[in-house]
Amino acid sequence: MKSRIKTTATCIIILGVLTTAGYAVTSVIIRQKSSDDLLKGTTDGAIVDSRGVIRLAPQTEKLNLDAQLEDVWTINTILADKTGTVYAGTSPHGEIIRFHNGKADVLYPKESANIQRPDPNDPNAVQESARPGEHIFAMAFDVAGRVLAGVSGQEGKLLRISAGPETIFENEKVQYFFAIALDRQNNIYLGTGPHGQLWRLDAFGQNPKMICQLQDKNILSLAMGENDVLYAGTDSRGIVYRIDLRTEKVTVLFDSEQEEITALVSSSDGRLFAAASSAQLADRPMQQVGAAIKKSPGRPDTEGEELSGWANTTGGTSLKPANSNEQKTAPPSGPQRPSRAPTPKAAGYVYQITSEGFVTAVFGEPAIFYTLIQKDDRLLLGTGPQAKLFSIDPKAEESVLLFEDKTSSQITAAASDGKDVFVALANPAAIVRVRQGRVDRGVYTSNLIDARQPAHWGKIQLDADIPDGCEIGLETRSGNVDEPNDSSFSAWSKEVKITAPVDADCPVGRFCQYRLTLKTANDKITPVVREISIAQVVPNLEPKVQVVAVKKTDKQRPYILTIAARAEDDNKDTLEFAFEFRKLGRQNWILLKDKLEEPKYEWDSRTVEDGRYEVRVTANDRRSNNEDTALSNSRVSDPLVIDNTAPTIAAAEVKVEDTTARLDLTVKDEWSVVGKVQYTVDSDTSWKSVLPDDSIYDTMEEKFTIVISELSKGEHVIAVRVADDLDNAAYKSYVVEIKQKPEAQAQG
């Protein structure tokens, strides 16, 4: 049922959105200001951090290594020196590649550089491999700046590369070299497998000694701490060990819930950071893995919020959106799914372990963690199966998606030359330099914002800083299909420069999408966007009463009927409710109660005669609308029976024969099924139930035969209780007289 409600209301306009007849009184403001909101959008040359802040991305450059990486599946480890020279250790052929001054050469094996690689497109060409079955998992610089590289395979060995590769360590128990670390005396420590052995060589690469053999098969990571302490991370059980190098005593520092400790970083202030991950993530769809760490409101009070080396300058324009009641903002668009905390092995974590041994998780992501390094005061973390590089500030609890590669699947290694960062990619393999300077242009495109009905879109406002030399452009579009690539979407509006609130220049539509273009003339500064708010107003829609149910809920008061309804309003208007009834077949509705804020009412059905009725619940939105726009909607219940009257005994015949009394009864009820018949003799407590003559209670008229034997001589009162299926009950008494004693008693 539709109707217009005549009333008077004050029209409230939020953010200056114009309304006309047919629109709801208040507009809805949609705010996007968290990483959960903004990461649903897409970026090109822009980044979104863990606080939901949009900035220009750093400049990147892919190193020219295509020829050398043609047969490479994975770059497992890289080094970078202060000259910008980069060394890469690869699989599956165990090559060590150097990139210097724009040129690349193969340092190991030497014969690899001279191999004439066949044309991969020639089916007749013989595909040779330089060194099949070898892998370079670990590299480091020794005290003289020479490259140390562990060659893993059937026969593992440690190389030192100067004029050429030189083998300085081999052992039949060691097949794999996963980690290399140096202490203050430049002694060399090797984390190996498959027997979990930790080896030490002196600074000259001589005098090898096995320090310990752990229970785990492989030592995947090493980090040198203070006071001659070495930390080791292992596979399978994900354990971090603490090794006192002076006493060679080994203790377990931390037992994680993940399978592998893939990387360790020891900071100058005594904290240890461990990247823990589970390989099983590689086989799980990302949407099935829950977010690892739930962010709490607020943040720690730390000095400086910007990434080190990427700070903004002062000056320029600061934009602030108008304040509004958060309760009037719309819920996130799209279907809502309950959030689920991950199982312990369902995500990767970066753990912080203090010098006192306290452990906290500072970062979590549904991904596999491959590499973790420290640059300045931040951690850089490389992940897969989506190749992402995160910059983490553990003190500020802030993380930034610093770089993402849409072509490769993993970031397997990272290194810094003190200025820029080099990241190694796998599947396909590549090396990318991430510079400190920012790109001059980046684009953020929002997800589709759903008004749930065709809406008029109002002003877009930003909480943003736009330094001198920077600007932000805005484009918008709209449509009625939940697919941004659908041809029915309007064209993007002409880009406008944002200096104040801007009208969304798009037609009426259910979905709106905006695009921000961030620009800078100085690669050291960037615009910063913290929040985007957009207002929309939907033409007033009638409420919908979806369910009306009438039940007895009070056993002590069976005559009380609880009427409960469920209603929704797409405009999120405040609703009020009216309850009415009528006897089935009549035209007019009789009001029970109106102007109720909740769709619930208790009806005392004793106020009406027995019969079949129906109930109508009407919801209206006049509290949120004016007299021209208010609407209502009704729903009628299924027919219900009101029966507060007990059945009657329509016919009764009493017979007495010797010591036996027989009652033949016909019980009728006008509205309900006969539900129960009981009797008692000379008592008001010992009730016995009887079945109808046809053995089933199923109609409004039933016949009963009650036979009572061996009654004593004299007068007896037989009380009968008849009740309907609603437990309305009535009582009737019958007096019978037995004129002789039972035969058995007489003979006695």
pLDDT at residue 26, rounded to an integer: 61
Confidence of residue 290 (pLDDT cuts 50, 70, 90): very low
pLDDT at residue 350 is higher than 60:
yes
Domains of the chain in sequence order = 29-56+441-535 (2.60.120.260), 544-642 (2.60.40.10), 648-747 (2.60.40.10)
Closest by Cα among 577, 631, 649, 582 to 609: 582
- The 8-class DSSP code of residue 584 comes to T
> Per residue in 42-75, pLDDT tens?
999 999 887 889 999 999 999 998 888 888 999 9
Lowest mean pLDDT among 85-94, 270-279, 296-305: 296-305
Whose CA is closest to 278, among 346, 218, 232?
Answer: 346
Residue range 669-686: mean pLDDT, rounded? 92
Q: Which residue has the tokens 């377990």?
A: 252
- Where residue 321 falls among pLDDT bands split at 50, 70, 90? confident
Residues in the chain: 748
pLDDT for 346 = 47
pLDDT of residue 300: 56
Q: What is the pLDDT of residues 353-406, one digit of tens each?
A: 987 789 999 999 889 999 999 998 899 999 999 899 999 998 887 888 889 998
Residues 6 or more apart whose CB falls under 8 angstroms from that of 183 comprise: 189, 224, 228, 230, 245
Per-residue b/e over 426-451, b at no fewer than 16 CB within 10 Å? beebbbbbbeeebbbebbbbbbbbbb
Task: Please give the Cα distance from 740 to 711 (Å, whole number).
Answer: 10
Q: Please report which confidence band the pLDDT of residue 539 belongs to, taking 50, 70 and 90 as the band edges.
A: confident
Helix (H, G, I), strand (E, B) or coil at 588: coil
pLDDT in tens, 418-457: 999 999 999 999 999 999 899 999 999 999 999 888 989 9
Q: How far apart are CA 50 and CA 44, in angstroms?
A: 17
Place 313 in a pLDDT band, splitting at 50, 70 and 90: very low
Coil/strand/helix, residue 117: coil
Q: What is the structure's pLDDT at 299?
A: 54
Q: Where are the beta strands (DSSP E) in 256-387?
A: 260-266, 272-277, 317-319, 348-353, 359-365, 368-375, 378-384
pLDDT computed for residue 522 by the predictor: 94
- When comparing pLDDT for 639 and 24, which is higher? 639
Q: How many CB atoms lie within 10 A of CB 494?
A: 10
Summarize pLDDT for 463-517 with one digit per residue, the tens. 999 999 999 999 999 999 999 999 999 999 999 999 999 999 999 999 999 999 9
pLDDT, position 117: 46
CA distance 621 to 630: 6
Residue-level pLDDT at 146: 95
SS3 call for 327:
helix
- pTM listed for this prediction: 0.65
pLDDT at 314: 54
Q: Is there a cis peptide before residue 428, judged by omega within 30 degrees of 0?
A: yes
- CA-based nearest residue to 610, from 652, 643, 571, 562: 643
b/e map of 531-554 (b: 16 or more CB within 10 Å)?
bbbbbbbbbbbbbebeebebeeee
pLDDT above 60: residue 729: yes
Q: Whose CA is closest to 233, among 209, 203, 198?
A: 198
Reduce the DSSP state of residue 240 to 3 states and report it.
strand
Q: Look at residue 442 in the predicted model and tell me its pLDDT.
A: 96
Closest CA to 40 of 446, 395, 531, 611: 446
Average pLDDT of every residue of the chain: 85
State mean pLDDT over 285-300: 45
Percent of the chain surpassing pLDDT 70: 84
| Residues near 483 by beta carbon (within 8 Å), at least 6 away in sequence | none
> What type of residue is 37?
D
Give Dmax over CA atoms of the chain in angstroms: 133
Q: What is the 3-state secondary structure (H, E, C) of 121-179?
A: CCCCCCCCCCCCCEEEEEEEECCCCCEEEEEECCCCEEEEECCCEEEEEECCCCCEEEE
**CA angle in degrees (0–180, nearest 5) for 741-745-748:** 140
Q: What's the pLDDT at 27?
A: 76
286 band by pLDDT with thresholds 50, 70 and 90: very low
What are the E-state strand segments in 214-322? 219-224, 229-234, 239-244, 249-255, 260-266, 272-277, 317-319
Instruction: Look at residue 537 in the predicted model and tell me its pLDDT.
Output: 85
**Measured CA distances, 625 to 97, 328, 560 (Å):** 72, 15, 35
State whether residue 112 is helix, strand or coil: helix
Confidence class of residue 562 from pLDDT cuts 50, 70 and 90?
very high
Structure confidence at residue 748 (pLDDT): 40
Phi, psi of 130 (to 5 degrees): -70, -45
**What are the tokens at 711?**
């009654």
Q: Mention every residue, 6+ apart, whose C-beta is less than 8 A from residue 540.
A: 22, 23, 24, 571, 573, 621, 625, 629, 630, 631
Q: 21 and 627 in contact (C-beta within 8 Å)?
A: no
- Contact yes or no for 94/136 (Cβ under 8 A): yes
Provide Rg for the chain, Cα atoms.
Answer: 41
CA-closest candidate to residue 272, choices 355, 360, 190: 355
- Going through 539-659 in order, the beta strands assigned E by DSSP cover 544-552, 560-568, 576-583, 590-596, 600-604, 611-620, 631-636, 640-642, 648-657
Out of 292-296, 405-409, 643-647, pick the least confident: 292-296
So what's the pLDDT on residue 312? 45
- What is the rounded distance in angstroms from the CA atom of residue 304 to the CA atom of residue 524? 16
Residue with the bigger pLDDT between 589 and 305: it is 589
What share of the chain in percent tops pLDDT 90?
67
| pLDDT for res 332 | 45
Identify the H or E element spanning 700: none
585-to-341, 582, 590, 614, 670 alpha-carbon distances in Å: 55, 8, 13, 10, 17
